[in-house]
Structure 1
Amino acid sequence: MLILIAEDNEDNLEILTRRLKRKGHDLICARDGQEALDMACDALPDIILMDISMPILSGIEATQQIRKHPPLQETPIIALTAHAMASDREKCLSAGCTEFATKPIDFKALLGIIERLTKEPSTDHTASRQTL
């Protein structure tokens, strides 16, 4: 799975990169919102981890621009932010983020979100079959 990490803090980027690589993910990294937008449009990642407070374009602005690109309209975007108020969550979701995670990142919870958002729909329809 190809993950775009958009993060301007080098320590956070290194931690996320190291841990996600250990889990076998392919990564591309952007250090500002404009770079995130450009990389997303070029690489079409499977999921995007978007820091909300970044230079050039904020994560909110980058997300809004990414959502205008048809191949990325359904790509999961997880907002990463130190701002944990309900209004911050709503602002991120309204901008087009799929999910919201607060910093410091709970890596186990983040992996759960990534798995949930990228899991293929089940093709096993046995649960919906009726017994006649």
Structure 2
Amino acid sequence: MGEDIEKTEKMTAALKKAGIRVTRQRIALLAVLADADDHPDAEELHQRAKVLEPSVSLATVYRTLSVLEHEGVVHRHAFEGGGARFETTHEAHHDHILDVDTGEVVEFQSDKIEQLQEEIARELGYEVVHHRLELYCRKKTKKL
């Protein structure tokens, strides 16, 4: 609960910094974003925010997400085979597995992968400044 409040405050500050009014509709959207433990698209966020504030428009959702992304407090993910999905930047770095059958997005973190990426970049004369790893997977079926 405290983490959600911190996320909401960070997003509210970003909107104010960008000169955007923090309306009831935007407060509802921020609450939904802060509470999301998945990677919803704009339409899913719109539907969730309407439960809290029925007057929220899809246009407000898109405009607000654009500002929050520009301010660096929301990540926009453009996973293959689907529209943009969103998550707050408050979480520690992680990578994603996308289930190609269900569309489920699973977050994971692997020190081994992080170390290997650093090692490969270093061997090639580079320093990693940013990376994103997306694995498109299918659950294995048990053999009888």
TM-score by length of 1: 0.30
Select the structure of larger CA radius of gyration: 2
